[in-house]
């Protein structure tokens, strides 16, 4: 069903809305917390970009505070245990890559996959959010485009050397995105965020990012197909 269709029946104070929000809000808070930590680790791995990356980490910390305020505004307690489990696979893959000094894999996980996930989710959420959360999310999504751009620029500048590692990291991590989407589909639907809209927006952002980095349309088709079997 079309995402922009009016949904006048959304009741932000209903128990069903608040219950779904307790998980989606937690995912966003945990995601922002992880993103903060990931950019701090990347700052250590990329000394030339240290100040830039620490700046991105600070933005992620502000985002986290903004979304915590959104939960409080609706009197919702975020289910942080659920959210940690939700992010654990991408978290573990990032940590393993960081320990091995695999900067390209770390950038693919955080600056491409997680940022595209954030951009698509926030874009789909904005038209159906409560007024308070809409204003916060509009400010946040502008920053997420900057984060995605950081990853694109670095990987584009190092494309030939990064290519093989990007393909392998894509193969390992893209299927996790579909698993994660499956796990939130029901809750997202309660918030009037439709799975098809999320998938479509994610694939557009991610495909554009791969194209900006230097992959051909043919490469992008092949790489995108890894998600579908999840
Ligand atoms: O870079 C960032 O700020 C990313 C951490 C934030 C990711 C948020 C993930 C949102 C997924 C929500 C799924 C709702 C259907
Ligand atoms: Fe529906
Ligand atoms: Fe963020
Ligand atoms: Fe971000």
In this structure, what are the phi and psi dihedrals at residue 12, rounded to the nearest 5 degrees? -65, -15
Residue 134 CA to ligand 3 centre (angstroms)? 15
For atom 13 of ligand 1, the residue with the nearest CA is: 121
Q: Average per-residue pLDDT in the chain?
A: 95
pLDDT of 59 reads 98
- Report the pocket of ligand 1 as residue ranges, CB < 6 Å: 24, 27-28, 31-32, 35, 60, 63, 114-115, 117-118, 121, 144, 147, 184, 188, 193, 198
Place of tokens 């915590």: 68
The answer to whether 140 and 122 are in contact (CB under 8 A) is: yes
Give Cβ neighbours of residue 109 (< 8 Å, ≥ 6 apart): 38, 90, 93, 94, 97, 169, 173
Pocket test for ligand 1, best of 42, 57, 79, 121 (most atoms within 8 A of CB): 121
> How far away, in angstroms, is 218 Cα from ligand 3 center?
30
| pLDDT in the model for residue 6 | 52
Q: Given the CA of residue 110, which atom of ligand 1 is nearest to it?
A: 1
Q: How far apart are CA 36 and CA 205, in angstroms?
A: 21
Closest C-alpha among 11, 60, 3, 37 to residue 193 = 3
* Other Cβ atoms within 10 Å of 121 Cβ, number: 25
ipTM of the complex: 0.95
CB 201, CB 151: distance < 8 Å? no
> Hey, what are 23's tokens?
């998980």
Q: What's residue 130's pLDDT? A: 98
How many residues are there in the chain?
230
**pTM: predicted TM-score of the whole model, two decimal places:** 0.95
Residue 26 has pLDDT above 70, yes or no: yes
User: Looking at residue 216, what is its pLDDT?
Assistant: 98
pLDDT tens digits for range 122-171:
999 999 999 999 999 999 999 999 999 999 999 999 999 999 999 999 99
């Amino acid at each position: 069903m079309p995402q922009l269709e009016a949904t006048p029946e959304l009741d932000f104070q209903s128990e069903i809305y608040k219950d779904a929000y307790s998980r989606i809000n937690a995912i966003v808070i945990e995601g922002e917390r992880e993103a903060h930590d990931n950019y701090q680790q990347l700052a250590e791995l990329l000394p030339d970009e240290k100040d830039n990356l620490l700046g991105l980490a600070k933005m992620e910390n502000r985002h986290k505070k903004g979304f915590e305020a959104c939960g409080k505004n609706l009197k919702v307690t975020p289910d942080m245990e659920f959210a940690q489990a939700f992010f654990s696979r991408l978290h573990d893959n990032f940590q393993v890559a960081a320990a091995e000094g695999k900067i390209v894999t770390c950038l693919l996980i955080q600056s491409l996959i997680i940022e595209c996930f954030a951009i698509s989710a926030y874009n789909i959420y904005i038209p159906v959010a409560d007024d308070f959360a809409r204003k916060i999310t509009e400010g946040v999504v502008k920053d997420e485009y900057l984060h995605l751009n950081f990853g694109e620029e670095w990987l584009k500048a190092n494309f030939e050397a990064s290519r093989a590692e990007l393909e392998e990291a894509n193969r390992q991590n893209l299927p996790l995105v579909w698993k994660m989407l499956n796990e939130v589909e029901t809750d997202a639907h309660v918030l009037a965020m439709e799975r098809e809209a999320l998938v479509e927006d994610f694939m557009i952002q991610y495909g554009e990012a791969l194209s900006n980095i230097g992959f051909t349309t043919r490469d992008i088709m092949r790489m995108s197909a890894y998600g579908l079997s999840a």
